[in-house]
Chain A
Amino acid sequence: MRFIKDLVFDFRQGILRSGTLLLVPAVIAAVTFFDFYAKARRYLEQGMIQSTVDYGDYWFYLYGGMCEYIPSPDNPFQFPAVWTLIFLVLPFIILNYPFRDMYGVGQQILVRSGRRSLWWLSKCCWNFCGTVLYHLIIQAAGLVLSLVFEVEISNRIHMDFINLVFNIRYQEVWNPSSLPVAALLLPVLVSAAINMLQMTVSLFIRPMFGFFSVAVLLLASAYLLSPLLIGNYAMAFRYDWVLKAGVSMEAGMRIAVILLLLAALTGLVRFWLYDILESE
């Protein structure tokens, strides 16, 4: 019962009253949609693509990430700006909320929750739901804009557009025409796992270094196509369903869930022993 109360409190304070969490994804969706739409129109006018784009292409534009990077002196590494912005802004938005309860008036809230484990589990749920909501808002805003700009709402993707946008040079790709459901869910799950990891890591080191680690992890994932770097599972372009040498979506689901649970469990143990001294 108390856990439900904590959860409701966190939802109210950490999600419904968080203007940043509600507004920023909408702004990101709007800006990226205009960017996507302008590009698609330009390519169509120049005859570089054969047909108009669909909502699936927009989704891919957001979550595609980048193709495999092959290091060489004449191929400088350029990180995927859209993907990085989407996956790095959210850890920033949710960075401080859990730690507000550890100093000042927040301690009153913490003590009233009764048990540290319940408090932490409530925060984990808030973190997960906040992540899902963030991505949902991006998608919803994208859908609304698609309707307004008469972009067809379907899960079809057009590889000619994708190849242009992602600047495919010599990677071997399949030629899929639609997005599978798993591909829609996996980036959100991975995002939740990364945010949970950040929240747990911030119990060991300062939150700013927790964010630093996430930034390094995301960039390293963009740089290196490896099943060991979780960020790869958040890049639709690197799934084996698109890229022949890509990562397995099923493995990605399993790893994301394991990481999510492991982070939550580690945080639970750590917080149970944590001295709340207002040192940060």
Chain B
Amino acid sequence: MLKRMIGIELRKALKNKLFYITILLGCSITMLSFVNSIAIYQNELLMQEHSAGNPMQALSNVFNNWSGGETFSLGSSIYFFVLPLLAAIPYGWSYCEEKQCGYVRMAAARGGKTCYYLSKYIAVFLSGGLGAVIPLLFNFLLTSLFIPATLPTPVYCTSNGVFFSSLMSSLYYTVPVLYVLLYLCIDFVFCGLIACISYCAASLVRHRSVTVILPMLLLLSFHYSRQFIYTSSTIRYKEISPMYFLRPVAAAYTASWAVILAEAAVLFTATMVVSMVWERKHEIY
């Protein structure tokens, strides 16, 4: 029964106009970054042609030109800023809608509350993760068609944005493709959990647009709380804000496994408790 309900929820989540719109929006935003990267790369090629000096071929590669690999283009800045929205828009609103229209009682009475809530959680998680990561993957693959996958070198670490203390820096300079894939996995999991915040918001909120936007504002508020934590200019802090550490290349402070895993665990626990314990305990009117 659970398998069937998961199948039904996944079909609703992934064969859904808002999911397609999110992918399209995401890809359009990453195209901005792509166009910028190509322009910069072509400019570098032109300069290399007319220069007799060191061509610095390892300076520009796909790993520091794709949307996640750079932190200074408009496209990548917009993308990672609206990432919580891109995660929640595909299916995060569905529980709110189904609660309001009464569909919950139809599905729960047939499949049981546990099956319904769990399958909904899984579908929201997967749709959120995919909605956020597919455009990044698209951008990476598109960029790799035009810019070579030269192995990055630590000599140009300022251009790469990955330093000695950065997360998985040794992987970046040895097997950068794996670095990219791992970071996409981190983004997938985190964005899935962000979408689940949207799902859980339906316990408090009646409008689906509000449930979709709430995770972004929560993350923005959490991002602001850095002002109270990062008070010293001499301490090497670790990045705590998902709006920054979900970027494969650090925008401010470097990411750390401890912070990422801890925040993911907290998010997972909180969303699970709300959906599987709190909501499930309530009667369905």
Which residues does A use to contact B, with CB under 8 Å? 31, 35, 38-39, 42, 71-79, 81-82, 84-85, 88-89, 92, 95-96, 206-208, 211-212, 215-216, 219-220, 223-224
Since A39-B227, A78-B251, A211-B85 are in contact, a sample of 10 more A-B pairs with Cβ atoms closer than 8 Å, ordered by chain A residue number, is A31-B224, A42-B231, A71-B72, A74-B159, A78-B244, A79-B81, A81-B224, A88-B220, A206-B209, A215-B85
A216 touches B220 (CB 8 A): no
The interface of chain B, by Cβ under 8 A from chain A, is 25, 29, 64, 70-74, 77-78, 81-82, 85, 89, 93, 158-161, 207-210, 212-213, 216-217, 220-221, 223-224, 226-228, 231, 244, 249-252
Contact, CB under 8 Å: B221 / A76: no
Q: How far is the CA of A22 from the CA of B224 in the complex (A)?
A: 21
In the bound complex, CA of A79 to CA of B221 (Å): 13
The CA-CA distance from A79 to B159 in the complex, in Å, is: 20
Residue on A nearest B232 in the bound complex, by CB = A42
Q: Give the residue name and chain of the A residue nearest to B60 (CB).
A: A73
CB distance from B19 to the nearest CB of A (A): 14
| A88 vs B81: C-alpha distance when bound (angstroms) | 12
Question: Closest residue to A224 on the B side, CB-wise?
Answer: B74
Most buried by A among B81, B216, B226: B81
Given A38-B228, A219-B78, the answer on whether A73 and B159 have CB atoms closer than 8 Å is yes
Q: How many whole Å from A232's CB to the nearest CB in chain B?
A: 14
Contacts of A220 in B (CB 8 A): 74, 78
Per the bound structure, the CA–CA distance linking A207 and B160 in Å amounts to: 38
Q: Residues of A contacting B220 with CB < 8 Å?
A: 81, 84-85, 88
What separation, in Å, do the CA atoms of A164 and B220 have in the docked complex? 23
Residues of the B chain whose Cβ atoms lie less than 8 Å from the Cβ of A72: 72
Tell me which residues across on chain B come within 8 A of A79, comparing CB atoms.
Answer: 77, 81
A98 to chain B, nearest CB (A): 12
CA distance A35 to B81 in the complex (A): 23
Q: How many Å lie between the Cα of A207 and that of B244 in the bound state?
A: 26
Tell me the minimal C-beta distance from A207 to chain B in angstroms. 4
In the bound complex, CA of A77 to CA of B81 (Å): 11
Q: How far is the CA of A89 from the CA of B29 in the complex (A)?
A: 23
Check if A96 sits within 8 Å of B207, measured CB to CB: yes
Q: Give bound CA distance, A82 to B226, whole Å.
A: 11
Q: B207 CB to closest chain A CB, in angstroms?
A: 5
A96 vs B251: C-alpha distance when bound (angstroms): 34
**Known A-B contacts A78-B251, A81-B227; A88 and B73 likewise in contact (beta carbons under 8 Å):** no
> Across the interface, which residues of A come within 8 angstroms of B231, CB to CB?
38, 42
List, in ascending order, chain A residues with CB within 8 A of B70's CB. Answer: 73
